[in-house]
Amino acid sequence: MSTTIRTDGANGARRLRAGLALVELLVGAVIMAVSLAAIVSLFAFSFSITKQNDDKSVAYNIARKELEHIRFEGFSNAIVIRDSNGVVTSKFRDGTRVTYYDSAGIPLANSTGAAYAATLVVTSDEIVTLSDGSHRPADDALRTVKVTVSKYPGGEAIHSDGTYMARSGV
C-alpha cells in the first residue's frame, strides 16, 4: 500500500508540474508579447523623432540660404525673383516671395514635387516716393527680413528666422 501511495503521489506531483509548466509558458508568452510591443513602440517613436529632426535641419538650411540670398542682393534689391535661367523677372522694394524646395532642400521652379515652402517677407520702416511715382526704402530705413519655412502642402511652420538690414549692411 505504501508503494501505491508513492506512485499516486508521484503521478499527482507530475501532473501538477505539467500544469505549472503550461502556466509558466503562458506567463512567459505574455511577458514576451508586452516586451515586443514596447520595443515596436520605441522604434516607432524614435523614427518619428528622427523625421522631425530631419525636417528641422532641412528647414533651417533653407532659411539660412534665403537670408544669405538677401544679403547677397543687398539693401536696395532685397527681393529679387529670377526665372529658372537666373534672369531677373521682377524686383520689389518691399514684399513677399515664396520659393518651393524638394525634400533635400533644393529649390524648385514651381510647387510640383515640393516638400517645403519658404516665405520671405521684407518690410521697411520708412519709404520714399520718387519723382516718377515709384517707391524705395529711405536711406536711413531699417528693413526687416523674415523667412518662414513650412511643410508643403499643409503649411505647418517648421522654422522661422529673420534679420534686419540697414544701408550699411545686414
C-alpha cell at 134: 515709384
The answer to whether residue 103 is domain-embedded is yes
What is the residue-level pLDDT of the chain in tens, covering all 170 positions? 455 444 555 565 566 565 667 888 899 999 999 999 999 999 999 999 999 999 999 999 999 998 988 888 777 776 666 666 766 665 656 788 899 999 988 999 888 889 999 999 988 888 878 787 777 777 788 888 999 999 988 888 999 999 888 876 55
Distance from C-alpha of 113 to C-alpha of 93, rounded to nearest angstrom: 30
Q: Which residues contact 79 (CB under 8 A, 6 or more apart)?
A: 70, 73, 91, 92, 93, 94, 95, 96, 97, 120, 122
The answer to whether residue 90 is domain-embedded is yes
The answer to whether residue 81 is domain-embedded is yes
The answer to whether residue 99 is domain-embedded is yes
Residue 117: predicted pLDDT = 94
- The parent domain of residue 72 ranges over 35-165
Kindly compute the dihedral angle of the four CA atoms of residues 144, 158, 102, 123, in this order, to the nearest 10 degrees. Answer: -10
CB–CB of 119/138 below 8 Å? no
Q: Quote the number of domains for the chain.
A: 1
HSE value, Cβ hemisphere, 13 Å, CA-based, for 139: 1
